Structure 1
Amino acid sequence: MPGRKDRRRGRPAFSPNRRALVTRGGLTVLQLRDYQEKVYHKIIDAFGRVRVVLAVVPTGGGKTVIFSKLIHDWRDGYTMAVVHRKEILGQISLALGALEVKHRILAPSSTLRRIRRRHVKKYGRSWIDERAPCAVASVQTLASKRASTDPEIKRFVNQVRLGVFDEGHHYTDAGHWGRAVDMLEASKLLFVTATPERADGKGLHVDADGYVEEMIEGPSVDWLMDQGYLCRYKYFCPESDLDVSGIAVTASGDFNAKALRARIVDSNLIGDVVQHSQRFAAGLKTIVFSTDVKTAEEQADAYNAAGITAAALSGETDDAVRDQAVDEFEFSELEKLVNVNLFDEGFDVPGAVCAVHARPTESLAKYMQINGRVFRPVYAKGYDLSTREGRLAAIANGPKPYAVIIDPVKNWERHGLPDWPRAWNIHGRKAGGTGPGDTIAQRVCMDCTQPYPAYLSPCPYCGADHKPEGRSTPAQVDGDLAELDVDALRALFDKQQEADMSREDFARGLFVPNSEGKIVPPPYHGRLIRKHEAAKYRRLVLRNFVAWWVGMQPADRPLAEKHRRFYHRFGIDIATAFTLGEQETDQLIQTIKTKFTKDLKHEL
């Protein structure tokens, strides 16, 4: 395959624009943020080693700004930005216009006219130029028969030396995705995405199913929130009667759409979503992510019937109707946008405060993109946005101090919360959801419906107490031994006494008949005694490790919380841990050692 085998190396020619704020032709051009600048230069450095680079930056972190500047600074032949859907053409074109990059668009004339009007409305002029050395195209156009037969398109494509593919997790070596990439076989290639793992398990690496030779990772979602580049969120998980058990996962790695629609019809989800919106997001600009066009229309109708203005949009919606609805959402009275596979990837909807998960998904990429739609901050005026403190204060005092996410379909249980750390794998894996990984278990508050770490009590958001279902086992009380009933605590104490039995008492016990009236044959006594003593010694070592782990926690942290943290971190309560056999004890010691550095970094 030419797109994978042709490895043109060597550092490409750039002319970086390092100015801070400049005004040209009445337009203000912003320099990259510090973290964006680092990603930008890592990309340039990587191009000196390899031909195909993947850059990972969270939704809202500025992927489009980074690659637009890369195109702006490129000085080694023609450039092309490729989008995965025609609906995104306008947004990428406007991003290039913000940097005053003249570009052509490979699209029907009606699309060109519509995007030109948006340029004039935003910039006072159009940056679309049919003779420009930069082009924007959809993957469908680039992979079409026309692209391979039209002399003008072929002539342009043959001169492209930098190809940028937005939402780069789509591009494997199969189908029209692969055909589009292979059209740029003489180019350096940059794939950009917020989520480089696919639901179908295919890997983006050149040695798996894709093209990528080197991956560059930008900052995490949590870091961007901590620095005031994204806003924090409140996550609500109200109950739903939607049952997705037994629904087949297709080859794409997500739920079968037809079966999902049938389950939604049999549930109360549509009406529940309206009620949840009224409870948690009344008056807030909200994007609802639905499963299919019919369900989206029914959802919008349910909102309107409740007196809440809403519109349903999808890829089937006429471009002009869609643009008008988005404008009404941003600037007028339209409060809810219900969409199907339209706003979850790449499509920016300014002004959105709340996202509603009205579709279950096994796709981590889709889940992260849904949440990312509402993380863009709205800064209050009068603050220094060049500092972390200024940005955080501007968010806190602005019209959007936090985003709101409503998830009645339990997507968070499949993928973890949106700001949890992720270890990306581009070498492929088994299809389906990746799960939240090595993270602390969460509990959903029965009062306010927000998830929180299970080791906390009461709920940190509303103060409601969590009542255990029982007190007869450590699991029921999350390892908080003080919450056990007397009989359970006595049983644990007796088990510890037996495990710590002296050598002499243990030896005498070998002569006592068991429940079947049998005793251990004397020839085996020596081996059992040595095993007992070895386990005692290893448990002594374990006690030191547990004391070390507990001792590193804040002194003012309640002992009960320390016990709960230990239980949820290691899957066993402290008392039971001191009754384990030699092998199990060694395994727990190793686990504590392995996780200690990570725990310390995250304040245990």
Structure 2
Amino acid sequence: SIQWLSRNRKIMDGQPDLIVIDEAHHALAETYRELWKRYPEARKLGMTATPCRLSRKGFTDLFDTLITSWSIAEFIGRGWLSSFDYVSIRANSSEQRLIDSLKKRGADGDYQVKEMNAVLNREIGIRQLYESVRRYAAGKKGIVYAVSIAHARQIAAYYSLHGVESVAIDSKTPALERGRLVEDFRRGKISVLVNVDIFSEGFDCPDVEFVQLARPTLSLAKYLQQVGRGLRKSDNKESCVLIDNVGLHRIFGLPVRDRDWEAMFEGRMAGNAQPRTRMENNGLSVSCSLSEDSKRNEGLEIVMTHARLLDAVRNGDLICLGGGGPVGEEQWTVLKAFHDRQSGLWGLRCGNKITVIPQYREVFDICANRAAVRFKDGRTGVVDESGVPMVVTGCCRRLRFLKGELLSVTKEDGSDCYT
């Protein structure tokens, strides 16, 4: 390991011709830089699923070239990774509002652990986490990512109390005990491992059937590394369930989203949450009562099913995120609506790629990467290019985008209001 090498480099004999670095997104650390100084003639090969940094610091001062493999979608389509079901908290839920209230940042630029723990380590929140597992992953084997050691231990205790054999593993867990618990998990004696950044990278247990995200993050690498623990193939696993209790797909997209790795590798783009415009319903009067709307927005929603995902992968109908534009900018393909004559419904398309299969009764208007639509149930709202609701306005007659980030809403009675 890099730690052993930094301690014992004086006893190393000879000069290596090739140095292979796993999880190479950590190679910016000073311990790795010593390799470049000590072995300047050796070739270096860095391997990582996430060549990006939250700090927007690139890798070009260490590596000459980025060689990309298949995307996650291609690996799923070719049968090397597991398909997944994705469920998440709703855009206007109380849980999402709690996460949106987090303001403080740690030294690494991510959310501050102390604030996350104060806001999210509460009995009501832990009960909601348990209910999510009970509803969508009952009897399955999984990994939970918590915000703090205290949070992880509370989750494990609550799950165990309710019949789901769970243990918390953190940096304070003795090595021998950690090894024993992990082995019990592999053998099925333990159903759930709850951890804090322990099993984000390098942990390999292919029969993990669900991953629960209970830790908000602004780091794309952390998000993809965590969900990746559930995407390994296993003989007895048809698919994996990704339970997003902190709404990460809303800022990162689904794991199969196209990403501009070259821009992140070169430092032109940070490996963080994509810019988004969260459109809030600021007291907007709609035909649905607030009590009805709040009930509808609580709980989890199914964002993607494994069957629908496999169909999209096989048909090439995946989210299109461009790149290669001016330095530091993202280049979006123009978003357009298209009509499916067979179903009579509307979908969304970026260039030649379908980003949302036909599922809307009407598409009123499109502005940049947002569309104003009428859903199947008659409600209206604004969705992003991947179909994720940004705001739901209720049952209205018409929506229209105006200049200055304004949305014009024509209500059922014909009156207009704006948000």
TM-score, with length taken from structure 1: 0.47
Q: 1:287 aligns with which of 125, 130, 143?
A: 143
Give 1:237's aligned residue: 88
Give 2:327's aligned residue: none
For residue 22 of structure 2, what is the amino acid of its counterpart? D
Query: Looking at CA atoms only, which structure, 1 or 2, has the larger radius of gyration?
Result: 1
For residue 302 of structure 2, what is the amino acid of its counterpart? Q
Give 1:340's aligned residue: 196
Give 2:272's aligned residue: 433
Question: 2 CA distance for matches of 1:201 and 1:378?
Answer: 35
Q: 1:228 aligns with which of 68, 71, 79?
A: 79
For the Cα contact (< 8 Å) 1:415–1:436, is it kept in 2? no
Q: Relative to structure 1, is the Cα distance of residues 435 and 570 closer, same or farther in structure 2, using a 3 angstrom cutoff?
A: closer
Give 1:192's aligned residue: 47
For residues 410-489 of structure 1, the aligned pairs below 5 Å read: 410-424=247-261, 425-429=264-268, 433-435=272-274, 449-451=301-303
For residues 141-180 of structure 1, the aligned pairs below 5 Å read: 141-144=4-7, 146-147=8-9, 150=10, 152-153=11-12, 155=13, 158-172=14-28, 174-180=29-35
Cα displacement (A) at 1:220: 0.7
Give 2:342's aligned residue: 556
Question: 2 CA distance for matches of 1:292 and 1:573?
Answer: 39
After superposition, what is the alpha-carbon deviation per residue over 1:462-502, rounded to whole angstroms, capped at 9, x for unaligned? xxxxxxxxxxxxxxxxxxxxxxxxxxxxxxxxxxxxxxxxx
Q: Relative to structure 1, is the Cα distance of residues 306 and 162 closer, same or farther in structure 2, using a 3 angstrom cutoff?
A: same
Aligned pairs, number:
314
Cα displacement (A) at 1:573: 6.5
Asked if 1:374 is matched to 2:230, the reply is yes
For the Cα contact (< 8 Å) 1:361–1:367, is it kept in 2? yes
After superposition, what is the alpha-carbon deviation per residue over 1:44-79, rounded to whole angstroms, capped at 9, x for unaligned? xxxxxxxxxxxxxxxxxxxxxxxxxxxxxxxxxxxx
Q: Relative to structure 1, is the Cα distance of residues 221 and 566 closer, same or farther in structure 2, using a 3 angstrom cutoff?
A: farther
Question: 2 CA distance for matches of 1:447 and 1:580?
Answer: 32
For the Cα contact (< 8 Å) 2:210–2:230, is it kept in 1? yes
For the residue of structure 2 that corresponds to 1:345, the secondary structure is coil
RMSD after superposition: 3.4
Question: 2 CA distance for matches of 1:342 and 1:225?
Answer: 25
For residue 348 of structure 1, what is the amino acid of its counterpart? D
Question: Which has the larger helix fraction?
Answer: 1
For the residue of structure 1 that corresponds to 2:183, the secondary structure is helix
Cα displacement (A) at 1:447: 7.3
- Which runs of 5 or more structure 1 residues have no equivalent in the other structure? 1-137, 380-398, 438-443, 454-459, 462-545, 582-604
User: Greater RCO between the two (CA within 8 Å, min separation 6)?
Assistant: 2
After superposition, what is the alpha-carbon deviation per residue over 1:10-35, rounded to whole angstroms, capped at 9, x for unaligned? xxxxxxxxxxxxxxxxxxxxxxxxxx
Question: 2 CA distance for matches of 1:240 and 1:564?
Answer: 28
After superposition, what is the alpha-carbon deviation per residue over 1:285-332, rounded to whole angstroms, capped at 9, x for unaligned? 010111222221121111111121111112332232222212211213
For the Cα contact (< 8 Å) 1:201–1:429, is it kept in 2? yes
Question: 1 CA distance for matches of 2:141 and 2:257?
Answer: 25
- Which runs of 5 or more structure 2 residues have no equivalent in the other structure? 277-295, 310-333, 349-361, 374-397, 404-419
For the residue of structure 2 that corresponds to 1:142, the secondary structure is helix
Q: Relative to structure 1, is the Cα distance of residues 328 and 230 closer, same or farther in structure 2, using a 3 angstrom cutoff?
A: same
After superposition, what is the alpha-carbon deviation per residue over 1:252-303, rounded to whole angstroms, capped at 9, x for unaligned? 2311122222222357322221221111111100101112222211211111
For residue 556 of structure 1, what is the amino acid of its counterpart? Q
Question: 2 CA distance for matches of 1:365 and 1:357?
Answer: 14
Question: Which has the larger strand fraction?
Answer: 2
For the residue of structure 2 that corresponds to 1:564, the secondary structure is strand
After superposition, what is the alpha-carbon deviation per residue over 1:76-99, rounded to whole angstroms, capped at 9, x for unaligned? xxxxxxxxxxxxxxxxxxxxxxxx
TM-score, with length taken from structure 2: 0.66
Q: Relative to structure 1, is the Cα distance of residues 573 and 291 closer, same or farther in structure 2, using a 3 angstrom cutoff?
A: closer
Q: 1:182 aligns with which of 37, 40, 43?
A: 37
For the Cα contact (< 8 Å) 2:364–2:399, is it kept in 1? no
Q: Relative to structure 1, is the Cα distance of residues 445 and 349 closer, same or farther in structure 2, using a 3 angstrom cutoff?
A: farther
